[in-house]
Amino acid sequence: MSPSLSLLFRFALAIPLLTACQSTAPEQPETAPADWNVLDAKTLANSHGHIDFVTHVRPILEQKCVPCHSRTVYPMFSLENRQKAFEGGPLGKRIIPGDTTDSALVFHITSTHRSIQVMPPVGNRLTADEIRILTAWVKQGAEWPRGKAGNLTPLSIPEP
Protein backbone atom coordinates (compact mmCIF):
# COMPACT_ATOMS: atom_id res chain seq x y z
CA MET A 1 0.00 0.00 0.00
CA SER A 2 1.38 3.43 -0.91
CA PRO A 3 2.19 5.86 1.93
CA SER A 4 -0.54 8.31 0.87
CA LEU A 5 -3.14 5.53 0.62
CA SER A 6 -2.06 4.20 4.02
CA LEU A 7 -2.48 7.66 5.55
CA LEU A 8 -5.93 8.05 3.96
CA PHE A 9 -6.92 4.59 5.26
CA ARG A 10 -5.81 5.50 8.82
CA PHE A 11 -7.74 8.78 8.66
CA ALA A 12 -10.88 6.95 7.53
CA LEU A 13 -10.55 4.57 10.49
CA ALA A 14 -10.06 7.47 12.93
CA ILE A 15 -13.32 9.29 12.06
CA PRO A 16 -15.59 6.88 14.00
CA LEU A 17 -13.26 7.10 16.99
CA LEU A 18 -13.43 10.90 16.99
CA THR A 19 -17.21 10.94 16.86
CA ALA A 20 -17.45 8.36 19.67
CA CYS A 21 -16.60 11.12 22.15
CA GLN A 22 -19.79 12.95 21.27
CA SER A 23 -23.09 12.13 22.88
CA THR A 24 -26.67 12.35 21.79
CA ALA A 25 -27.67 13.29 25.34
CA PRO A 26 -29.46 16.62 25.62
CA GLU A 27 -27.40 19.59 26.77
CA GLN A 28 -29.81 20.27 29.64
CA PRO A 29 -31.26 17.55 31.85
CA GLU A 30 -35.03 17.19 31.86
CA THR A 31 -35.53 18.83 35.24
CA ALA A 32 -33.16 21.79 34.89
CA PRO A 33 -34.43 25.27 34.24
CA ALA A 34 -32.19 26.88 31.63
CA ASP A 35 -29.54 29.23 33.00
CA TRP A 36 -30.90 29.45 36.55
CA ASN A 37 -28.36 30.95 38.98
CA VAL A 38 -28.62 30.37 42.71
CA LEU A 39 -27.10 33.81 43.36
CA ASP A 40 -28.94 37.01 42.56
CA ALA A 41 -27.63 39.48 39.94
CA LYS A 42 -26.04 41.81 42.50
CA THR A 43 -24.16 38.97 44.22
CA LEU A 44 -23.01 37.64 40.85
CA ALA A 45 -21.80 41.10 39.85
CA ASN A 46 -19.72 41.24 43.05
CA SER A 47 -18.16 37.79 42.54
CA HIS A 48 -15.24 38.77 40.33
CA GLY A 49 -12.80 39.51 43.14
CA HIS A 50 -12.49 37.69 46.43
CA ILE A 51 -14.90 34.75 46.67
CA ASP A 52 -16.53 34.54 50.08
CA PHE A 53 -17.72 31.14 51.29
CA VAL A 54 -20.89 32.34 53.02
CA THR A 55 -21.92 34.83 50.31
CA HIS A 56 -20.94 32.99 47.15
CA VAL A 57 -20.06 29.33 47.71
CA ARG A 58 -22.41 28.11 50.43
CA PRO A 59 -25.64 28.90 48.51
CA ILE A 60 -24.38 27.07 45.42
CA LEU A 61 -23.24 24.00 47.34
CA GLU A 62 -26.41 23.84 49.43
CA GLN A 63 -28.80 24.10 46.51
CA LYS A 64 -26.99 22.29 43.74
CA CYS A 65 -24.51 19.88 45.35
CA VAL A 66 -25.50 18.82 48.88
CA PRO A 67 -28.91 17.43 47.88
CA CYS A 68 -26.93 14.45 46.51
CA HIS A 69 -23.51 14.87 48.12
CA SER A 70 -24.65 14.23 51.66
CA ARG A 71 -24.19 11.48 54.22
CA THR A 72 -27.67 10.17 53.44
CA VAL A 73 -27.42 9.97 49.63
CA TYR A 74 -23.72 9.59 48.67
CA PRO A 75 -21.82 9.38 51.97
CA MET A 76 -18.50 8.63 50.25
CA PHE A 77 -18.79 11.95 48.39
CA SER A 78 -20.34 14.13 51.09
CA LEU A 79 -19.85 17.91 50.95
CA GLU A 80 -21.92 18.63 54.06
CA ASN A 81 -19.05 20.03 56.08
CA ARG A 82 -15.44 21.16 55.81
CA GLN A 83 -13.98 17.91 57.11
CA LYS A 84 -15.85 15.75 54.59
CA ALA A 85 -15.25 18.15 51.71
CA PHE A 86 -11.48 18.21 52.20
CA GLU A 87 -10.92 14.47 52.72
CA GLY A 88 -9.83 12.10 50.06
CA GLY A 89 -12.08 9.57 48.45
CA PRO A 90 -12.05 6.97 45.72
CA LEU A 91 -11.52 9.69 43.09
CA GLY A 92 -8.89 11.65 45.00
CA LYS A 93 -9.24 14.68 47.25
CA ARG A 94 -12.49 16.53 46.67
CA ILE A 95 -11.04 19.98 47.30
CA ILE A 96 -7.36 20.87 47.33
CA PRO A 97 -7.03 24.55 48.31
CA GLY A 98 -5.23 26.49 45.60
CA ASP A 99 -5.17 23.53 43.19
CA THR A 100 -7.82 23.58 40.48
CA THR A 101 -6.05 20.87 38.48
CA ASP A 102 -6.19 18.05 41.04
CA SER A 103 -9.33 19.00 42.99
CA ALA A 104 -12.06 16.47 42.15
CA LEU A 105 -14.73 19.15 42.70
CA VAL A 106 -13.31 21.38 39.96
CA PHE A 107 -12.69 18.44 37.64
CA HIS A 108 -16.28 17.25 37.87
CA ILE A 109 -17.92 20.65 37.51
CA THR A 110 -15.79 21.59 34.50
CA SER A 111 -15.72 18.25 32.69
CA THR A 112 -16.82 18.41 29.09
CA HIS A 113 -16.02 14.91 27.86
CA ARG A 114 -19.33 13.10 27.54
CA SER A 115 -18.10 9.83 29.04
CA ILE A 116 -17.49 11.70 32.31
CA GLN A 117 -20.64 12.91 34.00
CA VAL A 118 -20.69 16.61 34.66
CA MET A 119 -22.04 17.51 38.09
CA PRO A 120 -24.83 17.50 38.73
CA PRO A 121 -25.84 14.96 36.08
CA VAL A 122 -29.56 15.67 36.64
CA GLY A 123 -31.54 18.42 38.22
CA ASN A 124 -30.42 22.02 38.31
CA ARG A 125 -27.12 22.16 36.46
CA LEU A 126 -24.41 24.55 37.53
CA THR A 127 -24.35 27.65 35.37
CA ALA A 128 -21.18 29.13 33.88
CA ASP A 129 -21.19 31.78 36.64
CA GLU A 130 -21.46 29.15 39.38
CA ILE A 131 -18.66 27.08 37.86
CA ARG A 132 -16.50 30.22 37.64
CA ILE A 133 -17.21 31.05 41.29
CA LEU A 134 -16.46 27.56 42.63
CA THR A 135 -13.28 27.30 40.54
CA ALA A 136 -12.09 30.76 41.65
CA TRP A 137 -12.87 29.86 45.26
CA VAL A 138 -10.68 26.73 45.10
CA LYS A 139 -7.93 28.69 43.33
CA GLN A 140 -8.07 31.40 46.05
CA GLY A 141 -7.49 28.78 48.77
CA ALA A 142 -10.98 27.37 49.39
CA GLU A 143 -11.58 29.13 52.70
CA TRP A 144 -14.30 27.20 54.53
CA PRO A 145 -15.31 28.08 58.11
CA ARG A 146 -14.98 25.40 60.76
CA GLY A 147 -17.81 24.32 63.02
CA LYS A 148 -21.47 25.17 62.60
CA ALA A 149 -20.77 28.06 60.22
CA GLY A 150 -19.30 25.58 57.76
CA ASN A 151 -21.99 22.90 58.01
CA LEU A 152 -24.24 22.77 54.96
CA THR A 153 -27.85 21.73 54.75
CA PRO A 154 -29.54 20.81 51.47
CA LEU A 155 -32.07 23.53 50.71
CA SER A 156 -35.29 23.11 48.84
CA ILE A 157 -34.86 24.71 45.47
CA PRO A 158 -37.22 27.63 44.83
CA GLU A 159 -38.81 28.10 41.45
CA PRO A 160 -36.71 30.51 39.37
Q: How confident is the model at residue 11 (pLDDT cuts 50, 70, 90)?
A: very low
CA gap 45, 144 in Å, rounded:
22
Judged against a pLDDT cut of 70, whether residue 133 lies above it is answered with yes
User: What is the pTM assigned to this prediction?
Assistant: 0.72
The amino acid present at 56, given as its one-letter code, is H
The half-sphere exposure of 43 on its side-chain side, counting CA atoms within 13 A, is 17
Summarised one tens digit per residue, pLDDT across range 17-37 is: 333 334 334 454 444 544 688
In the chain, where the domains are located: 40-150
- Distance CA(109)–CA(78), nearest Å, equals 15
